[in-house]
Structure 1
Amino acid sequence: MDTTKENATLYTYEKEEGLLAYWAFDSIEDGLIKDVSGNGHDGKVLGEPEICPGYIYNGIRFSKPGQGVIVKNTKGLDFTEKDSFTIEACFNWDGVISGASWPCVMQKGLDIAKKAFNYVGFWINSSCRRAALGITGEGGTKTCNLVAQVNNTAGWHKLVAVQDGKAGTLSFFVDGVPQRQGNAINASSVGMPLTMGFCDDSSVFLGAIDEIKIYNYAKPIDFEVTGVDVMEYKSFSYTDPESGESITLPYRLYLPEDYENSDGKKFPLLFFLHGYGECGTDNIQQIRVLGGPNLLLDRVLERGDCIIVAPQCQASPAEYNWVPINKQWGTGSRELTEKPTISLAAATELLKTFLSDERTDKSRVYAAGISMGGYGTWELITRHPEWFAAAVPVCGSGIPSLAGRLTDIAIWAMHGEADTTVPPQGTRDMENAVKAAGGNKIRTSFYPGVGHNSWPQAYSEKDLLDWLFAQKKDNE
């Protein structure tokens, strides 16, 4: 099955120094996953896996045994203990065991049937929920298995192996964090293929992989904090005035460089509500999406001129979600509850503290969210329409009966046409209801063939940021 991504012009692959191979998995062309490094290591697709939302843009999903990718031209991909190399791979494991307890993300050189045991690759030990870098030489007699605990097996994770031939070391990193170090090993396996998603019939990986790169040097691992990780760790305490129940809401905060010495300057504010997959108390997951990048936050932060506030709610009990999803999840439209959940109430009070700050441009306050956070975005702007200039709810559902409150807010709602988790009819209902109430500031984007994970397409819309930051409330 050939799958070509839409908006292909959004992503170009720059030639990196020392890059031997790069499989981006953005499309399947003529039954192949192309090596976009230009070095000819194209992989043959087996068993009709599907292109899916990936770590960066698209990835490839293996849903049953017999699916995978095999690269037979592996010239230049054989390493001895004297060679330096770096291998990067991203995975999102379904958590399902198919065959052995070591699902294979990618590897080169292992073929049990042929008794070939010189190999290097990444596996998952499903019995203990750990990722492993396995490298073996000298016919399997010399082994270095570096195992690391993966915090939260759900979602995307990035694995990196770095061998320094001069130093004689092999290092393993998970999600940018150094894990284990061992000795360099001769894992040369000339003529053996490289496989992705399997290494034999028993080591089948079910899930998605993306962004596999191989370099011919020990890539320096820069642990400088960059991107959304620069956002400050904060918390906000809230007590319900009626019940007396208290909650502490973790949140991440980005303030522009000149915020403290603004000298009268005012800054727009983006208030972001995460999806159910990012629930927790770690104050980390909510600035990503299922462990992968959050393209909206990444793009807004790059501007450097917008306050970003991203709170995090708990997964259970349901009353601690942004909306009571145990009652309303999967509905095309819904009604507003008398009171918000305690987490949304806390988030609302948190936002109020920024609205009361003279450095916040109250004419340019924006709300955004995905999935459960899309529900929360619709509810937040419905309860407080006077606060917001614009909103970007993705794969959520609103309250059509109260759409008349939203006619003065610029809304860009996005949804996958094939979403079976939150039906796209919910977005259509809101579009129709707002327009019926006299609103003309709502726009929608629907993505054919895309399921619930529509945020990569939504947040890759070329004019999204220009549109968002052009929105301004009147009379402010």
Structure 2
Amino acid sequence: MKNAIKVLLVLIVPVMVATSCKKDVSENDPGKPTGGSGTKPPVENAYNNVVETKPPVQKGITINVNGNIGGYQQALPALYDSTTKRYPLLVFIHGIGELGDGSTQLYNAANVGVARLIKDKKFPPNFVVNSKNFSFIVISPQIKKWDYTTVAKDVNDMITFAINKYRIDTTRIYVSGLSMGGGYTWDYAGTYASRIAAIAPICGASGPNDSKVKTIANAKLPVWAFHNDDDGTVASSNSKNWVSKINALNPPTKARLTLWPTGGHDAWTKATSPAYKENNMNMYEWMLQYTRIK
């Protein structure tokens, strides 16, 4: 009997030792990073708490998101493929001068706004808000045609696509854009305000209507708008009227408007600059204060 027990222990102990030393290389293990699909549920790994120090990596992606978006500029944190965590999403929409097919003209979408900052390595890899570190996934879609009837759908389709493809923290989705894209931002928020955490429209080419204003105010959506008062292309009254009408409904977070006296149509260079701050926060840090409770 004693001999039988000794034999059994001899067989069991090596198996136990081998099992404890084995590295479980699963789809979510740091040794085998997840790709861009985000289909696996996130799990903790050592990389998740590493603060990004290298610039985000941007590249053009040609794909039919819908009939009016044929591609986009994708910017991912440098360590994205080594982590399993979910990231804040910033969708930034260009102006009318950057319209294109999403393929041979896709480079235009990287020449303005946040995508240009990333292209020039001037977009911070990390933001600290409330003692927490954040890095954005930035998606800059290229719109084919400025069709007023599809504006909200275009942005919503882009967000849905991004959620399905990348690891997005769906409580932290933000939308911004300039000129035409600023108008897209207002109109999207006026339709789907409850899906996003904050917006930052810049010299937005859209005037308010009462229904969209009410949607934004009722959703308690934080707004920070930017405009130059001498803008000869898109009247600053657009931004003034949106903000004043929203605030007239007494939302818990008052809509903000930064109105510079001069600068013409280009309010985006200053607005998107990480160096421009109010109350010690730039546009991105301001956004990250807010989450959308699902």
Q: What's the TM-score, normalizing by structure 1?
A: 0.42
- Of the three residues 49, 54, 71, the one matched with 1:250 is 71
Higher relative contact order structure (alpha carbons within 8 Å, sequence separation ≥ 6): 2
* SS in structure 1 of the partner of residue 231 of structure 2: coil
Distance 1:426 1:247, change over 3 A: closer
- Please name the residue that 1:277 is paired with: 97
Alpha-carbon separation, structure 2, partners of 1:259 and 1:227 = 12
Q: Structure 1: 5+ residue runs without aligned partners?
A: 1-225, 240-245, 315-319, 325-338
- Cα deviation, residue 441, structure 1: 3.4
Report the residue type matching 2:157 in the other structure.
Answer: E
Distance 1:379 1:258, change over 3 A: same
Alpha-carbon separation, structure 2, partners of 1:254 and 1:459 = 16
Alpha-carbon separation, structure 2, partners of 1:458 and 1:468 = 13
Distance 1:376 1:249, change over 3 A: same
- Cα deviation, residue 310, structure 1: 0.6
CA contact (8 A) 2:109 2:141 kept: yes
Which contiguous aligned blocks of 4+ residues in structure 1 show a shift greater than 6 angstroms? none
Distance 1:227 1:286, change over 3 A: farther
Report the residue type matching 1:415 in the other structure.
Answer: H
Report the residue type matching 2:58 in the other structure.
Answer: M
Distance 1:377 1:383, change over 3 A: same
1:115-169 Cα shifts (integer Å, max 9, x gaps): xxxxxxxxxxxxxxxxxxxxxxxxxxxxxxxxxxxxxxxxxxxxxxxxxxxxxxx
Alpha-carbon separation, structure 1, partners of 2:68 and 2:258 = 36
* SS in structure 2 of the partner of residue 384 of structure 1: helix
Alpha-carbon separation, structure 2, partners of 1:296 and 1:235 = 17
Structure having the larger proportion of residues in helix: 2
Alpha-carbon separation, structure 2, partners of 1:227 and 1:261 = 15
Alpha-carbon separation, structure 2, partners of 1:444 and 1:469 = 18
Number of corresponding residues: 219
- Please name the residue that 1:361 is paired with: 169
Report the residue type matching 2:272 in the other structure.
Answer: Y
- Please name the residue that 2:140 is paired with: 310
Is 1:456 matched up with 2:286? no
Q: Structure 2: 5+ residue runs without aligned partners?
A: 1-53, 127-133
1:371-429 Cα shifts (integer Å, max 9, x gaps): 00000111111121111111111001342312111121111100001012111011110
- Cα deviation, residue 275, structure 1: 0.6
Percent identity over paired residues: 25
Task: Report the aligned-residue RMSD.
Answer: 2.8
Report the residue type matching 1:436 in the other structure.
Answer: A
- Of the three residues 208, 214, 217, the one matched with 1:404 is 214
CA contact (8 A) 1:369 1:376 kept: yes
- Please name the residue that 2:178 is paired with: 370
* SS in structure 1 of the partner of residue 245 of structure 2: helix
Matches within 5 A, 1:15-414: 230-238=57-65, 246-247=67-68, 249-263=70-84, 265-281=85-101, 282-289=105-112, 293-294=116-117, 300=123, 302-303=125-126, 305-314=135-144, 320-321=145-146, 323-324=147-148, 339-341=149-151, 345-356=153-164, 359-396=167-204, 397-401=206-210, 402-407=212-217, 408-414=220-226
* SS in structure 1 of the partner of residue 285 of structure 2: helix
Alpha-carbon separation, structure 2, partners of 1:457 and 1:248 = 27
- Cα deviation, residue 340, structure 1: 1.7
Structure having the larger proportion of residues in strand: 1
